[in-house]
Amino acid sequence: MRTYLVTGGAGFIGSNYIHYMFKKYDKDIRIINVDKLTYAGNLENLKDLEDRDNYSFVKADICDKEAIMKIFEENDIDRVVHFAAESHVDRSIKNPEVFVQTNVLGTAVMLNCAKAAWELPDGTFKEDKKFLHVSTDEVYGSLPDDDSAFFYETTPYDPHSPYSASKASSDMLVKSYMDTYKFPANITNCSNNYGPYQFPEKLIPLIINNALNGKKLPVYGDGKNVRDWLFVEDHAKAIDMVQEQGKLFETYNIGGHNEKQNIEIIHIILNTLQEMLPDGDKRKEYINESLITYVEDRKGHDRRYAIAPDKIKEAIGWYPETMFKEGIKKTIAWFFEHEEWMKNVTSGDYQKYYEDMYKDR
Ligand code: NAD
Ligand code: DAU
Ligand 1 centroid to residue 279 C-alpha, Å: 38
| Active site residues per annotation | 137-138, 163
Whether 230 contacts 320, CB under 8 Å: yes
CA 61 to ligand 1: nearest atom: 19
Kindly report, residue by residue over 6-53, the tens digit of the pLDDT.
999 999 999 999 999 999 999 999 999 999 999 999 999 999 999 999
Query: Span 89-118, mean pLDDT?
Result: 98
Q: Using CA atoms, how far apart are residues 294 and 332, in angstroms rounded to an integer?
A: 23
Q: For ligand 2, is residue 227 a contact (CB within 6 Å)? A: yes
CA 14 to ligand 1: nearest atom: 26
Question: Hey, whose CA ends up nearest to atom 6 of ligand 2?
Answer: 136
Rounded (to 5) percent helix, strand, coil in the chain: 45, 15, 35
Burial of 336 (0-12, 13-18, 19+ CB in 10 A): middle
Kindly report, residue by residue over 218-250, the tens digit of the pLDDT.
999 999 999 999 999 999 999 999 999 999 999
Q: Label the pairing between strands 193-194 and 230-231.
A: parallel
* Residue whose CB lies within 8 A of the most ligand 2 atoms, among 90, 150, 192, 232, for a mutation test: 192
Ligand 2 centroid to residue 297 C-alpha, Å: 12
Ligand 2 centroid to residue 203 C-alpha, Å: 6
The answer for residues whose C-beta is within 8 angstroms of residue 137's C-beta and 6 or more apart is 151, 189, 190, 191, 228, 253, 255, 305, 307
SS3 190: strand
Q: Using CA atoms, how far apart are residues 315 and 9, in angstroms rounded to an integer?
A: 27
CA 301 to ligand 2: nearest atom: 25
Q: For ligand 2, is residue 198 a contact (CB within 6 Å)? A: no
Q: How confident is the model at residue 141 (pLDDT cuts 50, 70, 90)?
A: very high
Whether 15 contacts 44, CB under 8 Å: no
Question: Hey, whose CA ends up nearest to atom 29 of ligand 2?
Answer: 203
Supply the pTM of this predicted model: 0.98
The residues facing 83 across adjacent strands are none
